[in-house]
Amino acid sequence: MHDVLARIETVRLVPVIKIERAGDAEPLGEALLEGGLPIAEVTFRTDAAAEAIKSLADCFPDLLVGAGTVLSVDQVARAVDSGARFVVSPGFNPRVVDYCIGRSIPITPGVNNPTQIEMGLERGLDVLKFFPAEASGGMALLKAMSAPYGGIRFIPTGGIGPGNLRSYLSFDRVLACGGSWMVKSELIAAGDFAEISRLCRRAVELARSVE
């Protein structure tokens, strides 16, 4: 496993961030670290994504910064140029995945069926995003779908929160869980970074309570 993915496994959480103003990146980075969550997946859902990644990567050497919702090779290049250390995509785009593999950039493409898992296996990937986790069938689907593929681990994302986090993290095929519940874009926009820290701390406590 790539060392960046191994680091994600130690945290067991991937906060999925949508940030509208790059100027919010610095207080957000402080809030994440204050909440005990030294990781950030900044999604390319806003124009501020690349600048926010750069600001987080420059200001916080201890923060593992990645790019999410990456849909094209061009976005991978912009993300990595800005300082992203890992790439996440909602689906399995072979061009994006192969570009990352060719450059040793850790990529976790989204899958929710066995055919997509086999596309990852064929390329030597050992960690995939399970997306959209809850809407696709949640734990029941993940357990059934992962059974034939012993070497693969998953980062379920989509519909996860304090109510179901422990159930996902209790499954040994789950490397970490992703989600936006602790870094809601409304809280970022409102500048409520204290609440973000509180939600992060609560998520970290919940994750640590799973043996």
Q: Which stretch binds ligand 3PG (CB under 6 A): 72-80, 99-107, 176-184, 193-201?
A: 176-184
**What is the rounded distance in angstroms from the CA atom of residue 60 to the CA atom of residue 2?**
21
Active site residue 184: no
91 binds ligand 3PG (CB under 6 A): no
**What is the rounded distance in angstroms from the CA atom of residue 81 to the CA atom of residue 177?**
26
Q: Name, in order, each residue with C-beta under 8 angstroms of 166's C-beta and a sequence gap of 6 or more.
A: 206, 209, 210
φ, ψ of residue 77 in degrees (nearest 5): -60, -45
Active site residue 143: no
Catalytic-labelled residue, pool 129, 143, 184, 205: 129
Of the candidates 36, 38, 159, 162, which one interacts with ligand 3PG according to CB under 6 A?
Answer: 159
Integer angstrom CA distances of residue 64 from 12, 32, 196: 13, 11, 17
Q: Which stretch binds ligand 3PG (CB under 6 A): 79-87, 118-126, 144-152, 155-163?
A: 155-163
Q: Name, in order, each residue with C-beta under 8 angstroms of 150's C-beta and a sequence gap of 6 or more.
A: none
Q: 125: which 2 tokens?
A: 């990937």
Catalytic-labelled residue, pool 9, 18, 26, 41: 41
How many residues bind ligand 3PG, per CB under 6 A? 13
Q: Which stretch binds ligand 3PG (CB under 6 A): 30-38, 73-81, 119-127, 173-181?
A: 173-181
16 binds ligand 3PG (CB under 6 A): yes
Could you tell me if 37 and 182 are in contact, meaning their C-beta atoms sit under 8 angstroms apart? Answer: yes
Of the candidates 52, 154, 178, 187, which one interacts with ligand 3PG according to CB under 6 A?
Answer: 178
Write out the catalytic residue numbers: 41, 129
* Interface ranges with ligand 3PG (CB under 6 A): 16, 43, 68-69, 131, 157-160, 178-181
